[in-house]
Amino acid sequence: MADKEYFASGHRGCAGCGMASAVRTILNAAGPNTIVANATGCLEVMTTGYPESAWEVPWIHAAFENAAAVASGVEAGLKARGRREGVNLFAFAGDGGTFDIGIQALSGMLERGHKICYVCYDNEAYMNTGIQRSASTPFGASTTTSPAGSVIPGKTQRKKPIAAIVAAHDIPYTATANIAYPLDLEKKVKKALSVDGPSFIQVMCPCVPGWGIPSEKSMEIARLAIETGVFILWDLEGADFKNIKITKLPPKPRKPVLDYLKVQSRFKHLVDKPDLIEKIQKEVDEKCKMYGID
């Protein structure tokens, strides 16, 4: 634990907010010489209600889709006055701000090679605006724009493999992380900040209202995502996927996906649909095989 906290308590996040825990771990790992460019979303709204702020480091928010571009400008601004050295520069954005509307700015930032650590706090939907589906929302999840209807049972598309897409840009460092593994996250943040160029960390962050989970269960459910193989913890330097490192293996045998699905109300309509559960299980099995976990 750090001696000083850089993400103050008293913000307006829900009890059990996964993202708040992720941000706290990340900022504490980075320390005082840090600047954050934040996209619009829950994180920005819950931490900066004027005239208060939960940020003990310099922080800027401009819009939803451009955290990567704003951070690119900050980097240039710092460089222009010889202030870049020793500063940890982050872009923080949700899954909506990363997978969907922000992917262009992100790709541009990666291609141009800015030394920025881009953190996607992934709560698998647009939570700030009331739980709409994003490209990160997993198959079958019920959201307000992919509702579990009598004909269509929730989201019909799968989650976009954002970290793999980012890694394909051949940047120095890409990682996935999960709030239930804070030491792993901390290590990845330090690594990301040490490389010379862009880095990217996708942190899985359960959302209490969005996932329909009890507030005291967010850590447990985040862990279940790893133990079932639904979410895989890995990191990679460069773009050669042969060098991928799985940083946390699920137990053998992996827990069944149903264990993960049945504790979240966004999936509750699936519990009595064995064919869909089987489909999800099969896809997770295939993914685990692809990543060499099984």
> Of 97, 49, 50, 42, which Cα lies nearest the Cα of 71?
97
Binder among 31, 84, 107, 129 for ligand TPP (CB under 6 A): 129
> Using the rule CB under 8 A, is 100 a contact of other proteins?
no
State the binding partner of 80 from Mg ion, other proteins, ligand TPP, none, CB within 5 to 8 A by kind: other proteins
Q: Any residues with CB less than 8 A from the CB of 237 and at least 6 apart, and which?
A: 172, 173, 195, 243
Distance of CA 230 to the CA centre of its chain: 14
Whole-number Cα distances in Å, 215 to 3, 44, 207, 219, 262: 27, 21, 9, 9, 16
Binder among 18, 19, 29, 61 for other proteins (CB under 8 A): 61
**Buried/exposed code over 212-246 (b: 16+ C-beta within 10 A; e: otherwise):** bbeeebbbebbbbbbbbbbbbbbbbbeeeeeebee
> Of 288, 290, 201, 206, which Cα lies nearest the Cα of 250?
288
Among the candidate windows 87-95, 143-151, 214-222, 226-234, which touches ligand TPP by CB under 6 A? 87-95
Q: Contact residues for Mg ion (CB under 5 A)?
A: 94-95, 123, 127
> Using the rule CB under 8 A, is 75 a contact of other proteins?
yes
Binder among 16, 20, 55, 118 for other proteins (CB under 8 A): 55
Residue nearest to ligand TPP (CB): 94
Which tokens in the block code for residue 186?
């901390």
> How many binding residues for ligand TPP (CB under 6 A)?
17
Compute the least distance from the CB of residue 99 to Mg ion, in Å. Answer: 9
Compute the least distance from the CB of residue 155 to other proteins, in Å. Answer: 28
> Using the rule CB under 8 A, is 73 a contact of other proteins?
yes
Binder among 1, 3, 4, 81 for other proteins (CB under 8 A): 81
**Do 155 and 278 touch, CB atoms closer than 8 A?**
no
Measured CA to CA, the distance from residue 40 to residue 198 in angstroms comes to 21
> Using the rule CB under 8 A, is 260 a contact of other proteins?
no
Which tokens in the block code for residue 137?
């929302």
State the binding partner of 128 from other proteins, Mg ion, ligand TPP, none, CB within 5 to 8 A by kind: ligand TPP
Which helix or strand (DSSP H or E) is residue 60 part of?
strand 59-61
> Using the rule CB under 6 A, is 218 a contact of ligand TPP?
no
> Using the rule CB under 8 A, is 132 a contact of other proteins?
no
> Using the rule CB under 8 A, is 286 a contact of other proteins?
no
> Using the rule CB under 8 A, is 151 a contact of other proteins?
no
> Of 124, 294, 110, which Cα lies nearest the Cα of 218?
124
Angle between helices 103-112 and 67-80 (to 10 degrees): 30
Q: Any residues with CB less than 8 A from the CB of 49 and at least 6 apart, and which?
A: 12
Compute the least distance from the CB of residue 160 to ligand TPP, in Å. Answer: 12
Decide whether 20 or 185 has the Cβ nearer to ligand TPP.
20
- Look at the chain and count its residues: 294
Contacting positions for ligand TPP (CB under 6 A)? 40-43, 64-65, 93-97, 123, 126-129, 134
Contacting positions for other proteins (CB under 8 A)? 32-35, 37-38, 44-45, 48-51, 53, 55-63, 65-66, 68-81, 83, 87, 104-105, 107-108, 111-112
